[in-house]
Structures are given as structure tokens and as C-alpha cells.
Amino acid sequence: MANKFLKAEKLFGLIGHPVGHSMSPVMHNDQFERLELPYFYHAFDVAPGELKEAVKGMRSLGFSGFNVTVPHKVEVMQYIDEINEEAQMIGAVNTVVNTNGKWIGYNTDGKGYVESLLSKTGKKLHDYNILVIGAGGAARAVVTSLYRYGVKSLAITNRTISKAEDINKNLKEGPGVEILNKEEAEQKTNHYDLIINTTSIGMAPDINTTPWKTEALKSGCLCSDLIYNPLKTTWLKEAENMGADTLNGVGMFVGQGAVAFELWTGIWPDIERMTDIVLEELGRK
Ligand code: ATR
């Protein structure tokens, strides 16, 4: 039987290492199929040291765009033609678009996360006092995008305070964010409407560890974990038991994919369908 993708008119891809477990190909290809777009998305395992050649290869092969994941999100910035403002502030690129032969880099992680939050909170997000736990790459994207969106207050707590300070330095305009050590942030737990875990604490296989106490949460607090393996972390379970609202990491994953999809095709995809596909894939793994 003929494979209809032999006729793909546009090619998209993911470059990372490793990429074997990525859910992006099935998520994007399903949307292409549903929208009857003759496009194809494939994951490429690109070893560290091979990135420059890989990007060059994508260009010669006429790719229309690609995603970039760990460990290449920072290095890839050297090999493309332009970087949009938000990606510059975040200091990493996860989506590249071929615009009339020019590679333009974006970061859809933070924007995708804000999209997933908005579907839960609506415009109330503007009135939220928010605490972000962690100051790595994911925190950088989340903090930058929330800051640009505009929230009531934003604080970061991290084991290594200097990394939180670095994130703050990159936020160009406005008052910046508050940097707190763990004790200071813990004392203010009941001040926050939204607490976001961006660290790997609680991720499989260490599923019994938790990033934050749930005893002193503000009533109605939303606890959001960027982890999606497991789908419901011990921290989210504890928060739920304390009466808090929760959000798992699938929202951010789907959100970043949806924003990338829109950049490539001009079409906002079916988020619910993408979420179902990702949940199905996670169930299989
Ligand atoms: P990612 O790109 O997923 O954000 P990362 O850049 O490696 O990953 O960042 C991991 C974050 O989790 C960091 O904020 C890290 O804290 P440090 O900056 O102090 O290293 C945090 N983290 C990971 N394991 C942790 C642990 N056991 N306790 C506290 N923080 C931890």
C-alpha cells in the first residue's frame, strides 16, 4: 500500500538527543492528517557535536521548520538567521521556522504554558500572585512568558539563588521578579494563588519526592507541576488532598506544540485532540 506521506509537500522535524520517546511526531502528524495537510514530522536523534551539520542538512533538504529539544536549545541559536525577542529573553530556541529561506527561532515553551494556564484560569491570571520553584531552562521560559503576559506578582525560589538572579536580569522592562530563598518563600506559601514546580523533584523514578509542602496553601490555590511522568505527581496528589486545584505537565507539552504548529501552518490546532493523543501515548509507555 502506498504511504501517503511519500507525497509530503512540507517537512518538519524534531532534533534532540535522545528523541526516541518523543510524543511530538504523533501529535503533529495527527493534526496534519485531520486538517488534510500533506505535511510530515519526524524525530531525528542528533548527537552532541553534530548539531551544526544537522541544521545545515535541514536547510539543504528544504525543511519548512523544526523543533529543538534537550540538549540543543541554546547551541542552535548560533546556527540560525534570526531570533525573536521572547526567545532571546529566554535564552533558548525550541522552534525554528523557515520564512522565505531564513531560519527564524522562537521559544514556544513559555507561551504554550501560559496558554494551558489560561484555559484553566481565564483572565483571572492577571490577578495572580505566583511562586515559581526552580530556575533552570523550563523556569526561564515560564517566568519570562508570565512576566510578559502580566500577572500581579511573580517570585522565584531556587536551591541555587544565582540562577534565579540570572533569570531576573534577562527580563528587560518593569520591576522584575522577587527572588526568595526556600525559608522566605515557605513562610509566604499562603500568599500565592499559583505555585509552579519547574524542577525535576517528583519525576519518575523518584516519584515519592515532593518540591513543596502543601499544609499552608492559600484556599483555592492552583498547584501546577511541569512533570508529566507520572501524570499526577505525589505533590499534586497531596495538594489535591488539601483542597487545591491542580494542573499536570501535559498542558505545557501540548501548548508548546500548539504554538509551534501555528507558527508553521498559520492554523491553531485542536488542543483537545492533541491532549488525547498525548495521554494515549503516555498510557502506552
Ligand atoms: P530544566 O531544563 O528541565 O528546567 P534544568 O535546567 O536542569 O532542567 O533545571 C533543573 C532545576 O531543578 C534547577 O532549578 C535545579 O536547581 P539548581 O539550580 O539549584 O540546580 C532544580 N533541582 C533539580 N533537582 C533538585 C533537588 N533535588 N533539589 C532542589 N532543586 C532541584
Tell me the CA–centroid distance for residue 212 and ligand 1, in Å: 14
pLDDT score, position 5: 55
Task: Out of 200, 206, 225, 235, give the residue to mutate to test ligand 1, the one with the largest number of ligand atoms within 8 Å of its CB.
Answer: 200
Ligand 1 centroid, distance to 136 Cα (angstroms):
6
CB distance 138 to ligand 1 below 6 Å: yes
Per-residue model confidence (pLDDT) at position 1: 41
At what angle are helices 250-265 and 109-121 packed, to 10 degrees?
Answer: 120
Per-residue model confidence as pLDDT tens for the chain (285 residues): 445 556 889 999 999 999 999 999 999 999 999 999 999 999 999 999 999 999 999 999 999 999 999 999 999 999 999 999 999 999 999 999 999 999 999 999 999 999 999 999 988 999 999 999 999 999 999 999 999 999 999 999 999 999 999 999 989 788 899 999 999 999 999 999 999 999 999 999 999 999 999 999 999 999 999 999 999 999 999 999 999 999 999 999 999 999 999 999 999 999 999 999 999 999 877
pLDDT, residue 123, reads: 86
Residue 29 Cα distances to 35, 198, 253, 277, angstroms: 10, 28, 16, 11
CB distance 198 to 133 below 8 Å? yes
Rounded to the nearest angstrom, the distance between the alpha carbon of 7 and the centre of ligand 1 is 43
CA–CA separation, 218 and 96 (whole Å): 40
Residue 133 CA, closest ligand 1 atom number: 14
Residue 135 alpha carbon to ligand 1 centre in Å: 7
201 touches ligand 1 (CB under 6 Å):
yes
Q: Write out the catalytic residue numbers.
A: 73
Q: Is 199 in the pocket of ligand 1 (CB under 6 A)?
A: yes
199 CA distance to ligand 1 centroid (A)? 5
Q: What per-residue confidence (pLDDT) applies to 158?
A: 98
Distance between start and end Cα atoms, the chain: 28
Residue of the nearest CA to atom 30 in ligand 1? 159
DSSP character at residue 80: S
pTM reported for the whole predicted model? 0.94
User: Is the CB–ligand 1 distance for residue 230 below 6 Å?
Assistant: no
- Ligand 1 pocket member 265 (CB < 6 A): no
Cite the DSSP H helix spans in 150-249: 161-170, 182-187, 234-241
Which atom from ligand 1 is nearest to the alpha carbon of 163?
A: 18
CA distance 43 to 97: 16
Report pLDDT for 3: 52
Residue 178 identity (one-letter amino acid): E
